[in-house]
Amino acid sequence: MRERLLGGLTPRIFLRRHWQKRPLFVRGAAGADERVVAVRELLSLAARDDVESRIVERRGARWHTQHGPFARARPARRGWTLLVSGVNLHSRAADRLLRRFSFIPQARLDDLMVSYATPGGGVGPHIDSYDVFLIQGPGRRKWTVWDCARKTYVCEPGDLLYLPPGVKHDGVALEPGFTYSVGFRAPRGAELGAAFLDWLHERGLPDARYRDPDLAPAAAPGRIPDAMIDYAAKLLAHIRWSRADVATFLGGYLSAPKPHVVFGPSAARRGAWLRLDTRTQLLYSGASFFINGEAFAVQARARAAMRELADRREIAAPRLASQARLIGEWRRAGWVRLEKRHG
């Protein structure tokens, strides 16, 4: 299945030859009947305030962007595009498509964005700072890619175009249709550093206030006092961390839901199959586990099954019978669901 998705390449060969190196175009990668949502369903998602959406309209040589929610959005005949992020959080079909790329660590997978465009629609030439797989749904779209040379691809239903970061590209709809974009997380250094320092601060970074009761009159008012520099140096010397601290921080940081994601209690069903909610992120590192931004521990005998749940996002419920109390809490939070059958 993955060899078809990647044009006959195994994931290992794809990662070695193309990942963050050069584009790949695959004809018929996902099958011509790949459908995630209908237009009315996408418009319904775009009307919600817990869903990120935008409309891009092409007027002459310019693109005009509006951000949702859109209570009464209607597609224009030409040059109109609706983009909805995180459709995998609300659609089982979208989540299944996203999980076909699970040869990439889930900590790197971001979401599945769905765009619907009328003829001439698009967002204009642009460069992404992250990897992206573009899978064509119903309809056709012409892509122009500026890699080493300018290339064009007419994507028909089921075709796939992979683009590494930094490659300029432009997609224009040839007829009304969908494009499914699999995006990846690539945290910036400054963003990661700020979040990590906040995490350290929450765990006991001293909050002492500078005092100078023996202050003498300043002979040079513009000079920073040595005592203040010494105080800051002593205080900041307390900022220490280990590799284990970094792993714990990353587990919470990478599994945390986006701010607009809201969970509700799952239906009280009986079943023998445990499945993660599409909005849930379960990650692990060694014996440490993280779900939706929270760290938790399990007994040694249950770790293999918990890792399987994280990797496959589903498992036979009896495999985690020893964690019934924890699973019960997750069910009440809406993080997992019990279902009657595997399918």
Residue-wise pLDDT tens digits, 94-153: 999 999 999 999 999 999 999 999 999 999 999 998 999 999 999 999 999 998 889 999
Measured in degrees and rounded to the nearest 5, phi and psi for residue 53 equal -150, 160
State what percent of residues in the chain have pLDDT above 70: 95
Q: Is the pLDDT of residue 222 over 70?
A: yes
- Chain centroid to CA 332: 24
- Exposed e or buried b for every residue in 77-95, given b needs 16+ CB within 10 A? eebbbbbbbbbbbbbeebb
**Strand partners of residue 154:** 142
Distance CA 294, CA 309 (A): 16
Measured in degrees and rounded to the nearest 5, phi and psi for residue 274 equal -105, 125
Instruction: Output the pLDDT for position 139.
Output: 96
Distance CA 155, CA 179 (A): 9
Instruction: Output the pLDDT for position 215.
Output: 84
Residue-wise pLDDT tens digits, 5-25: 999 999 999 999 999 999 999
- Give the pLDDT band (50/70/90) at residue 26: very high
Q: How many residues does the chain have?
A: 343
> How many C-alpha atoms does 77 have within 13 Å on its Cβ side?
0
Q: Is the pLDDT of residue 178 over 70?
A: yes
Distance CA 192, CA 39 (A): 37
> Which is it for the CA torsion 200, 202, 208, 209, positive or negative?
positive
Q: Where are the alpha helices (DSSP H) in the chain?
A: 2-5, 11-17, 39-46, 92-99, 189-202, 226-236, 243-255, 303-312, 324-333
Residues 251 and 286 sit within 8 Å (Cβ to Cβ): no
What global pTM score does this model have? 0.87
Instruction: Output the pLDDT for position 272.
Output: 87
Between 159 and 148, name the one with better pLDDT: 159
Residue-wise pLDDT tens digits, 68-97: 999 988 999 999 999 999 999 999 999 999
Distance CA 126, CA 227 (A): 51
- Give the pLDDT band (50/70/90) at residue 283: very high
Instruction: Output the pLDDT for position 300.
Output: 94
- Give the pLDDT band (50/70/90) at residue 210: confident
Sequence-distant (6+) residues with CB within 8 A of 201 are none
Instruction: Output the pLDDT for position 207.
Output: 66
Residue-wise pLDDT tens digits, 286-340: 999 999 999 999 999 999 999 999 999 999 999 999 999 999 999 999 999 998 7
∠ Cα 199 205 208 (to 5°): 140
- Give the pLDDT band (50/70/90) at residue 1: low
Residue-wise pLDDT tens digits, 235-282: 878 778 889 989 999 999 999 998 888 887 766 666 689 999 999 999
> Which residue segments constitute the domains of the chain, with CATH numbers given?
2-184 (2.60.120.650), 248-339 (3.40.366.30)
- DSSP annotation of 321 reads G
Instruction: Output the pLDDT for position 211.
Output: 85
Distance CA 307, CA 330 (A): 16
Beta-strand runs (E) in 118-245: 126-127, 132-136, 141-146, 150-155, 160-163, 168-173, 177-184
* Whole-Å CA distances, 343 to 29, 209, 235: 22, 59, 56
Supply 6's token pair: 């990647």
Q: Is the pLDDT of residue 343 over 60?
A: no
Instruction: Output the pLDDT for position 33.
Output: 76
Instruction: Output the pLDDT for position 289.
Output: 96
